[in-house]
Structure 1
Amino acid sequence: MMETYYAAVYWGCRVESAEECARRAETFFRHLSRCDPDYARWFEQADSRKKALQLQFDPSAETFMRFFKKRGYRLGKVGFSFGAWTGHESRERGGVVSLTCGDDAVGAPNNCILDLPREKPGAERVLSVSVLTEVLRAMVLAWEPDWGVVTSEDFRDSLSQEGDVGTFVGWMTYFSRSRGEVPSLPAPVRMELVENRGTLVILSSERLTVANSEQLVLGRHIQDVLLAKGLLKPVALTVQ
């Protein structure tokens, strides 16, 4: 069965205005558009594919301000929720973004999630370290999250029965500076700084897959090391 990959970042309570969320959304889509040609155009989601294909939008701060004024994109008194897709007829070929921002995060963390392509030609281009590090960087620079990951659902489930955000490692895992200092890790693992925001841990230069037993062993080992250092903990939902 084909593995399903995704990139995601999460952060806890951060109540922000529509203006602030719109600015962050514009930054994210602008950076993301440089990662791969498939991310150059976006459509609102709708009840049918035919209707959604009529809803292409320019991902500017002004556009998101207009969206966030709509009742359907608001989360009660604070926070916003929004979804978009790349317009590919087959969902497996393009991408889908879902985000929750500006929320008090009482029930679930704020987040930005990108479902990655499963089929050629998009999967061949996108599912690589060179592209996905830039995707995760785009998320970090825009949303300033606490934690983030690029992984497959199967690999995640093999390392974590609960799958609680912040508690497991993936192909790539991001830790904000607020989580603490990431220790030196053995090869082939490598680390990259994301400006002054935090550290990106990359398990392998090859595509990570649950079918590779050596990658699973490495993932479990690195997860144990980071757990012992106090870096793997659930994303806090509210300010203590």
Structure 2
Amino acid sequence: MQDKYYVGAYWGPRRETALECARRAELFFHMLARCDPAFSQWYRAGRGFPRDLPGWPVRPEMKELETLFLKGRNRTDVGKKVIEDMGFRLMVWNAKKDAIHVHLHCGGYSPWGVPNSCLLNPLWKSAVWERLVRSPVLAEVLTSVATAWDPDYAMASSSQMVDLVEKRGSEVRVGWLTYLSRRLGTLPPLPAPVRIEPVGTLGWLLVLSPEPMTASNPEHVALTTRVRELLDRAGLIERPAPRPASE
């Protein structure tokens, strides 16, 4: 089975307003646009959009993004009341065919809700995504995610590799490319050919290989497993149970 790659960034409870999330999203989309032309235009769902387009065009500007985040709040089934501590959600995509989807969940501060996250994921086999995966662009994408959203960790990997390497469902995931925030602790020495690059003052980007790592390659699985073990010994893998953002 061919590996299916995705980018995922995750962080714990962080109480932010729709405007604060919109500022981060604006930076994120502008940084993505500099990574590759495939990320220059995004669309959203909604009734009545022109049929020749993939959806309603989204302008990656703070005020429009704030409005979309406010529309994407979680509500109760009865009474449709806003659930404040569940934050905001937004999903956009970049094309009608071979689309890459971006799922954003931010501003959530419930210790029992799903984690805040930023996901880039092709729902179907995409020629554009396959091209991006096999180039240095994916490292730029991960850097954009880390810079804009300041997650606890982020990774670019195949879902098949995650299934092989992950030991606990709530742990920090290690992939072909892995970003770790300095909040997690101190980075230990890692074996060659792992390359470590700083992401500003926020954290580190670990590049395990210059080429895509596949779950069907035993050497790739062994290296990813080894790096995970070393990070786990250094206390960087286990994620503590989240507490309310006010604590």
> Is the pair's TM-score, using the shorter chain for normalization, greater than 0.5?
yes
The aligned residue for residue 21 of structure 2 is 21
Matches within 5 A, 1:73-222: 73-75=72-74, 76-78=83-85, 79-89=87-97, 93-106=98-111, 107-116=113-122, 119=125, 121-128=127-134, 130-166=136-172, 168-222=173-227
d(CA) in 2 for partners of 1:233 and 1:161? 10
C-alpha spacing 1:67/1:176, structure 2 compared with 1 (3 Å): same
C-alpha spacing 1:235/1:170, structure 2 compared with 1 (3 Å): farther
TM-superposed deviation, 1:94: 3.0
d(CA) in 1 for partners of 2:158 and 2:2? 10
d(CA) in 2 for partners of 1:164 and 1:47? 37
Number of aligned residue pairs: give it.
Answer: 234
* Stretch deviating more after TM superposition (222-231 or 98-107): 98-107
TM-superposed deviation, 1:170: 0.6
Q: Which amino acid aligns with 1:83?
A: M
Alpha-carbon RMSD: 2.3
Contact 1:146 1:179 in 2 (8 A): yes
* 1:153-193 deviation digits (Å, cap 9, x = unpaired): 00000112544351x31111111111111112111111100
State TM-score, norm by structure 1.
0.89
d(CA) in 2 for partners of 1:117 and 1:48? 23
The aligned residue for residue 232 of structure 2 is 227
Secondary structure of the corresponding residue to residue 34 of structure 1: helix
d(CA) in 2 for partners of 1:69 and 1:183? 41
Q: Which amino acid aligns with 1:136?
A: L
d(CA) in 1 for partners of 2:36 and 2:131? 8
Identity among equivalent positions (%) equals 36
C-alpha spacing 1:178/1:74, structure 2 compared with 1 (3 Å): same
Contact 1:46 1:52 in 2 (8 A): no
d(CA) in 2 for partners of 1:173 and 1:74? 30
TM-superposed deviation, 1:235: 6.3
Q: Which runs of 4+ in 1 moved over 2 A?
A: 45-54, 116-121, 161-165, 234-240
Q: Which amino acid aligns with 1:111?
A: S
Contact 2:151 2:181 in 1 (8 A): yes
* Stretch deviating more after TM superposition (16-25 or 116-125): 116-125
d(CA) in 2 for partners of 1:223 and 1:83? 31
* 1:12-60 deviation digits (Å, cap 9, x = unpaired): 1111111101111101111011111111110113589959724111111
C-alpha spacing 1:154/1:138, structure 2 compared with 1 (3 Å): same
Q: Which amino acid aligns with 2:61?
A: S
Secondary structure of the corresponding residue to residue 196 of structure 2: strand
Is residue 2:59 matched to residue 1:58?
yes
d(CA) in 1 for partners of 2:240 and 2:8? 13
Q: Which has the higher contact order (CA 8 A, sep 6+)?
A: 1
Structure 2 unaligned blocks of 5 or more: 75-82
Contact 2:45 2:55 in 1 (8 A): no
The aligned residue for residue 79 of structure 2 is none
TM-superposed deviation, 1:196: 0.4
TM-superposed deviation, 1:146: 0.8
* 1:96-124 deviation digits (Å, cap 9, x = unpaired): 00011111142221111111486463134
